[in-house]
Structure 1
Amino acid sequence: MTMKLVSWNVNGIRACVRKGFLDYFHEVDADFFCIQESKLQEGQIDLELKGYYQYWNYALRKGYSGTAIFTKHKPLSVSYGVGDLETEEEGRIITLEYNNFYLATVYTPNSKRDLARLGERLEWEDKIREYLVELDSKKPVILCGDLNVAHEEIDLKNPRSNQGNSGFTVEERQKMTKLLDAGFVDSFRYLYPDKEDIYTWWSYMSKVRERNIGWRIDYFIVSKKLAQNIIDSEVHSTVMGSDHCPVLLNIDI
C-alpha cells in the first residue's frame, strides 16, 4: 500500500495557519502529516481536519517547541518522549505504532548559536538512536522531522563559512552518520545522492530565501529494510508559511 507522508516545521502553527497552512494541508492530502515547532498549549487552537486523528505533544514552556501528527490511520499505540529524556518536557517526539511499522516525528534540540547546548544535544542524539534501533529490531521505522543538522557539505549553501556552526559541527554531523550506520537511510539522498541546491530552511534575513541560501535540515529517515520501498522523497521549497518548507515521502508499506 502506497502511503504519502509530510513533515513540516511550521514555526508556530497558529501563525502558519494564517499564512495558508490549511490550503497546503488539504491540497497535499497526506496519509500522515507531521509538524514540529507547534509553539502552543492544549486548547490554543481548534484545527478542523476532517478524516484525521490528531496527536499532540506540547512543551511545558509556553510558546515553545512541540510536535503533532495528523493521520488518517488510527495507530495501535501512541507514545510521547523517550525514556528519561529531560527534553520530553519540550514536546519533541511522538511515535505511532502500526501493524508493520513505526512512525516517529522528532524536533531535535538546537545546539544554540554559541553551542551552549551542544553537550545536551549529543546526549539526545545517542538516546534517540538507541530508541530507534530498539524499535527497528521489532518492525521498520519511518523517522521524520527537523533534525537540526546539515549532514554533508552538499546539504547547505555555504559549508566552508559554516564549519563548526550550530547545525554543522563535526559532532552533530557524526551523530547523523552514526544513526544512518545503525541501519537507516536518508530517503532524499538515497534517491538523489548528488542533487545540489535543495534546502528546507532559510534564514529570515533579507532575500536569503529568494537567493536560495539555505540548509537541508528536515528529513525522512527510514529503516534500511524499507529503502527499496521508497517511491519518492520531495522537498516542497515553494510552499511558504514558515522559515522551513514541507518535505514529503511516498513509500510502499
Structure 2
Amino acid sequence: MKIISWNVNGLRAAVRKGFLDYIESEDPDIIAVQEIKLQSGQIEIPLDDYECYWNYAERKGYSGTAIFTKHTPIRSFIGDFHPAADSEGRVLGLEFENVYLINVYTPNSKRTLERLSERLEWEDAFLHYVQQLNAIKPVIICGDLNVAHQPQDVKNDRSNIGNSGFTDEERSKMTRLLNSGFTDVLRHYYPERDDIFTWWSYMKTVRERNIGWRIDYFLISDSIVDQLEHFQVDDHIYGSDHCPMRMTINLH
C-alpha cells in the first residue's frame, strides 16, 4: 500500500499549483492531506478512482483534513478526543482490516506559545487515543505534528530552542509517543540525516537554501516496521510551504 501525506496549506490553492499532476504521477493507494482550508461543496476534485472522506473545521478557511483512498475502509471516523480535534477538523481516521490510518494536523502552539498548554493537553489526549487503537490493531499515523523532534530536524536548531514546535515540552511529548510503541519512519531509514525537512518559511530563498524544519511525519506501530518497503520525502515538489511524503508498506 502506497500512502502519501501532505500538508497542502489550502487544498484549492494546491490544486492550482499542481497537486493533481503529482498524484497522477505517483498513483498512490491513499492520499492524506492536512490544512485543507475549505468547507463542504467548495471544491470538486477529479479523483475518480478514489473515495473521498472529509473532516472540515467549523471556522471557514481554516484547518481541516481529508483522505482519498482506492481501498474502501471498514469505516471512517473523526477524532473526538479533544475540543480542537472535533471543532477544527484536525483528525480523520480510516479503519481497514489490518490497520488504522490516522491523518492528523496537530495544533500549533503559536509564536508566543499562547496555545502551548492546550497543545500539551492535546498531546496527552492523542497519546491515549492512539494507544487504545494500537491495542486493537496496528496504527499508521501521518500528518503535520507541528514539532521538530530532534536537533537534526531543524536547520538552525540552537537558535530555535524554546520556539514554537521546538520547545522541550513538545519534544518530550513526541519522545513519549514513540516510546509507547511507535516508530518514526524517516528516522528508521535515515537515523543521522540532518538535511531532510518538510516545511520551509515563505521568506525569500529559504527553501532554495534548504533552511527548513521536519514537522511532518509517518509514525507506525512497532509491530509492522518489518513490513515497510519504501519511504521518501519529496522536497522537490512545490505547491505548499510543506512538501509531500510517501510511504509504501506491505500490510499482510
TM-score range, shorter chain: over 0.9
TM-score (norm 2): 0.98
CA contact (8 A) 1:82 1:127 kept: no
TM-score by length of structure 1 reads 0.98
The number of equivalent residue pairs is 251
- Cα separation, partners in 2 of 1:189 and 1:77, compared to 1, 3 Å: same
Structure 1 counterpart of 2:88:
90
Equivalent residue, structure 2, for 1:127: 125
SS, match of residue 231 in structure 2: strand
Match of 1:70 in 2: 68
CA deviations over 1:47-91 (Å, ceiling 9, x no partner): 110110000100000000000000000000111123353431000
2:145 corresponds in structure 1 to 147
Q: Tell me how far 1:40 sits from its aligned partner.
A: 0.4
Q: Map Cα deviations across residues 26-51 of structure 1 (whole Å, 9 max, x no partner).
A: 11111110000000000000111011
Conserved 8 A contact 1:164-1:170: yes
- The alpha carbon displacement at 1:232 in A equals 1.7
Matched, 1:215 2:213: yes
Where 1:160 maps in the other structure, the secondary structure is helix
Whether the 8 Å contact between 1:147 and 1:217 is mirrored in structure 2 is: yes
CA contact (8 A) 2:82 2:125 kept: no
Q: How much has 1:195 moved relative to structure 2?
A: 1.5
Using the alignment, how far apart are the partners of 1:211 and 1:240 within structure 2? 14
**Aligned twin of 2:159:** 161
SS of equivalent residue, structure 1 residue 173? helix
Q: 1:231, CA displacement in angstroms?
A: 1.3
Identity %: 58
Residue equivalent to 1:230 = 228
Structure 2: give runs of 5+ residues left out of the alignment. Answer: none
The match for 1:113 is 111
Instruction: Check the 8 A contact 1:202/1:213 in 2, yes or no.
Output: yes
CA distance in 1, matches of 2:212, 2:81: 34
Match of 1:192 in 2: 190
Q: Is the 8 A contact 1:82 1:128 kept in 2?
A: no
Distance 1:234 1:195 in 2: 13
Cα distance in 2 for partners of 1:18, 1:52 equals 19
